[in-house]
Amino acid sequence: MFWYTLTPLDLLLLRDAKPFTPGERAWAGSVFPPNGHTIAGALRGLFSQKKDFRLIGSFLCRQTESGNKLYLPRPLGFYKSTPLVPLEWNSDSYLQAALWDKTEPSPLVKPPGQLADEEDNYSASSSEKKFRQYLPYEVVQKYLETGHIDKEDWIVEGGSYEDQPWTVETRSHNSLEEGTRQVKAADGYFVENGIRLHAGWSLAIAIDQEIDTPTTLRLGGEGHRTILQRCHELDEQWASLQQQSQKNFKSGGKSIAYLVTPGVFERKDKDQGTAKSLCRAFPWEWKLAHTVNKNQTRGDLVSVATDKAVPISCRFRDKDEINKSIPAPQAFAAPPGSLYYLNQPRSLFQDNEQTQVHKWRKLGYSELLWINYKEQ
């Protein structure tokens, strides 16, 4: 895999997957960082012929005094800087007697010995400090090695924008009636949000094709340009993360799967004879470790820490003409940063190159890093 940085020369228009028609819904939002479909569509514009490739990303990258540094989305299984653990792994919790739905993943609680107000007191003493929403490479590496993130590692460095390294700019669009100075009554006005990255920040992607750089790449709506630049530093950083992740996976035992790109976990189902696809926040092949009746098969998935789904707008490409495509049904992905708590690590069905759903992995979705769980 070859790593590259994408540095925008202007703001980016990355419309979300919601249906949009000026006049009917006169507001177009943007999703950032861009998903795999957006990046893949932009990269195909560089190739003169139809070509399949493997993609990783997109992530954020920051240029520092020591060089380029990879940033990954914050793990969602934390309350501010306090890690949460599944209730089933916390036998000393006073919530053990609580009733909860055993058809769902186990609730998450604070670890043993964690005072109820410890995190709040810590925040009150540092009220001006912000928590990172994107973690630098060295913090993620330490998280993989030790299973912990120190409280100091959560604090945003002054002026670094590690909580949100971009600004949302609202742009309005008007169309005037011919021969007048009045806005058209129909399809005449709409507003959309653009994304402008702060100075020193860029996007980071990896593909299994080497491209002559620097070159320009048109990304997002209206084809705003970005500079595509080869970055060898990111090769080493990602390789180090992968090496530690695979070591953790092979060691077995209680593990945490850290989702670093949107995870599309889709299954075909039939309802009254009509086939449809269902998406959910965790892989369908991972069965829950707790059951409600004797007929169920126990799995290894104990709990999940996630957030609202990320809608993804897909397209069907023409088999013969590279530039032809039509809209496909939306998919709903688990957000990057989701954590999955398992009694034993399990690989994904879509990792198998022989399966049809492997297309999601080739587009960079469902990328997991593995952590060995260590009690606090």
CA atoms within 13 A on the CB side of 12: 30
> Strand 224-230 and strand 27-28: pairing?
unpaired
Q: By C-alpha distance, which of 58, 15, 10 is closest to 224?
A: 10
Q: How confident is the model over 137-147, as pLDDT tens digits?
A: 999 999 999 99
Mean pLDDT of 339-356: 94
3-state SS class at 237? helix
* pLDDT cut 90: percent of the chain above it: 56
Q: H or E element: which one contains 69?
A: strand 67-73
User: Which stretch of 117-121, 133-137, 247-251, 360-364 has the lowest confidence by average pLDDT?
Assistant: 117-121
Helix, strand or coil for residue 1?
A: coil
How many other CB atoms sit within 10 Å of the CB of residue 275?
A: 8
Q: Name the strand (E) or helix (H) holding 141.
A: helix 137-146
Answer for the pair 300, 289: CB distance below 8 angstroms, yes or no: yes
Confidence check: pLDDT of 19 > 70: no
The pLDDT of residue 91: 84
Measure the CA–CA gap between 262 and 136, rounded to whole angstroms: 19
Collect all residues with Cβ–Cβ distance below 8 Å to 127 and sequence separation of at least 6: none
Residues 43-83 have pLDDT tens digits of 988 886 777 899 998 999 999 888 999 999 999 999 988 99
* pTM across the whole model: 0.90
- Residue 129 dihedral angles phi and psi, to the nearest 5°: -85, 150
Residue 44 identity (one-letter amino acid) = R
**Structural domain spans, the chain:** 2-372
Higher pLDDT, 97 or 58: 58
